[in-house]
Chain A
Amino acid sequence: MYTVSNLWKSYEKKAPPVLKGLSFEIHKGEILGILGVNGAGKTTLIKLLLRALEASDGSMEFLGTDLAKFPLAQYYQTVSAVLEKDRNVYWYLTGIQNIQYFGRLKKLKDGEISEKADRLMRAFDLYDARNQIAGNYSRGMLQKLSIIIAMLGNPQVLFLDEPTLGLDVITKKAVMHNLKQLARQENTTIVLTSHQLDVIDEITDRVLVLENGGIAYIGKTSDFKHLYSENKYTVTMSGRLDKKNSALSGCTIEEKEATTEIILHNTSNREINKLISHLLEKDYEIIAFSKDSHRLEDVMELFIQRGSDKSA
């Protein structure tokens, strides 16, 4: 859908570039997550793809046509966005009036707007507040309203900058569910940024990690999670252990109030079986056994850490 080649962006001539020669593709119908620390250039990249900013160098193609030459009116019929920092809606209008206004600016017919507004407001649990002034909405409600507006007119591409920021758990789940459905059923391409890595983990097909203005990683989210595969096993048992026991070498032992946790990192099934057999032989009571693996948050943390170690 998009082919980005050697994309550079600096805001001022003498300032260091925010983006340094990015090259990547965005495929039709995928959900792409853009990750990176604060100031990594995530929003800049989204705004460049939205043509709200002009690139310093490089090229972007959309549906095989140079994006700079793609007719703007046609492009904005195709793409939509919710941008962070922006308010996205008018506070003196009610929820439904905001939807009607922005729907008309998208050249939609009034009947079509009403039908969509009705369906989306119910899906996002905003229907009962449709006639309330947006200024009285909570942050979460405003965010939901912005997403509904962005979804009007069946965009082929939806850009979302921090779409779940400020949302409660239930609403966040509803937003994620609706976005996934949009991508699967309508084949909508979704490009999103989020610092809430559970959101990225849950809904994205691929991730693009920005670091120091370049692409540090691009690929399947599941592959990224295995990049620094760090399986962590925890055996919880009652009472205390003899720490000098040789069977426990290489384990981390954490003593809690009435229990003890034995933590093993990146070990084999054989080693785990050996440890459990040993504990049972010694009549220790095992209360729980858990395996935490491939949490995106941990992987990202390691990724950033290793990146800064390299640069140091």
Chain B
Amino acid sequence: MLKLIQAEFKKYLLEVKTYYPDQIVDLVTRYILFTAFFYGFVYHVRNSTGYYVAYMYWIIASSIISELSMSLSFEKQAGTIEQLIIKPYPLWLILTVKTYVVLLITALKCVLLFVIIKVTLPISLQFDLNLIWILLVSVIGFTGIGLALSGLTMKFTKTASFESIISYCLLFFSGTIIPFDKMPDLVQRVLNVIPFTAGINMSQKLLEGGSQILPVLLWLLFINLACFLLGYLIFQAIFRNVKVNGILNTY
């Protein structure tokens, strides 16, 4: 497992080095987006800094979900997918580690972004270290959704529209557009068992000082593991189907 992490980490660093202008543009775009969203909308219109948590969740969830299917799509296009499946590590694990490496670098870029925001904008960001645990547990569930989507990419190759739908749904259900408490009761109940919204909800409660971390984490862990298991099973079922139909390397 360590070899796999080492292999993917070193490869991604080389990728970042090769395509560094893209990384700089990405950072600038995120800064502009965050400034417009956070400073303009949340800080002035909603007057609450708790919303940045929802925004952060949305960025992380979207990048995990899209990265998993994008990396599979890239391997298909590059013609390296079959080389990956004949390696001692299972394909789902290789894709997941690839995604986590990207996520780690993205997280480091986000930290840099927050520092720049702190220095350049007159705002104060609330932060609780326990947010990290909630976020890490939520990553498990996001991975499940990402695996299911990359399974679909394996079969249908181009799934950018699937990805967009999921991403917009996540943005809608993040509570940033319509706050949770303004949504109908039934929707609120359903959202509480969806890992993404449950994580945001609990993080916001934690910031407001209204939650105990352990029971929150246990519940989150349960629903995220269930989501992961479902995504993993969907991925494996599609993988088997693709092996039967022989369309793994078609692009």
Contact = CB atoms under 8 A, between A and B. Distances in A.
Interface of A: 11-12, 44, 47, 50-54, 56, 72-74, 76-77, 79-81, 83, 85-93, 97, 100-102, 104-108
Interface of A, helix, strand, loop or mixed by DSSP: loop
Contacts of B79: 85-88
A76 B87 contact: yes
Contact of A52 (B11, B15, B248): B248
27 contacts: A44-B246, A47-B82, A52-B243, A53-B243, A53-B244, A54-B244, A72-B90, A73-B89, A74-B88, A76-B88, A77-B88, A79-B86, A83-B82, A87-B78, A93-B14, A100-B7, A100-B10, A101-B10, A101-B11, A104-B4, A104-B6, A104-B10, A105-B3, A105-B4, A105-B88, A107-B88, A108-B3
Contacts of A72: 88, 90
Nearest to B7: A104
B7 A105 contact: yes
Contact of A86 (B7, B14, B249): B249
Given A54-B240, A86-B83, A86-B249, A107 B3 contact: yes
A101 B10 CA distance: 8
B221 interface: no
B135 interface: no
A21 B219 CA distance: 53
A80 B85 CA distance: 11
Interface of B: 3-4, 6-7, 10-11, 14-15, 18-19, 78-90, 94, 240, 243-246, 248-249
Nearest to B78: A87
Contact of B86 (A44, A54, A76, A97): A76
B87 A106 contact: yes
Nearest to A81: B86
B78 A91 contact: yes
A50 B86 contact: yes
A11 B249 CA distance: 14
Given A86-B79, A105-B94, A53 B88 contact: no
Contacts of B14: 92-93, 97
Contacts of A74: 88
Contacts of B244: 53-54, 56
A73 B85 CA distance: 10
Contacts of A101: 7, 10-11
Contacts of B245: 11-12
A222 to B, nearest CB: 32
B88 A106 contact: yes
Contacts of B248: 52
A34 B82 CA distance: 20
A102 B10 CA distance: 12
Contacts of A80: 86
Contacts of A90: 11, 78, 80
Nearest to A78: B88
Greatest chain A CB density within 10 A among B86, B87, B90, B240 is at B86
Contacts of B90: 72-73
Contacts of A50: 86
A44 B247 CA distance: 12
B158 to A, nearest CB: 19
B239 to A, nearest CB: 10
Contacts of A47: 82, 246
A10 to B, nearest CB: 9
B105 to A, nearest CB: 16
A50 B82 CA distance: 10
Contact of A85 (B6, B7, B78, B249): B249
A54 B88 contact: no
Contacts of B15: 92
B11 A53 contact: no
B228 to A, nearest CB: 21
Contacts of A92: 14-15, 18-19
A139 to B, nearest CB: 13
Given A56-B244, A93-B14, 7 more contacts: A47-B246, A87-B78, A88-B80, A97-B11, A101-B7, A104-B10, A107-B3
B240 to A, nearest CB: 7
A86 B250 CA distance: 10
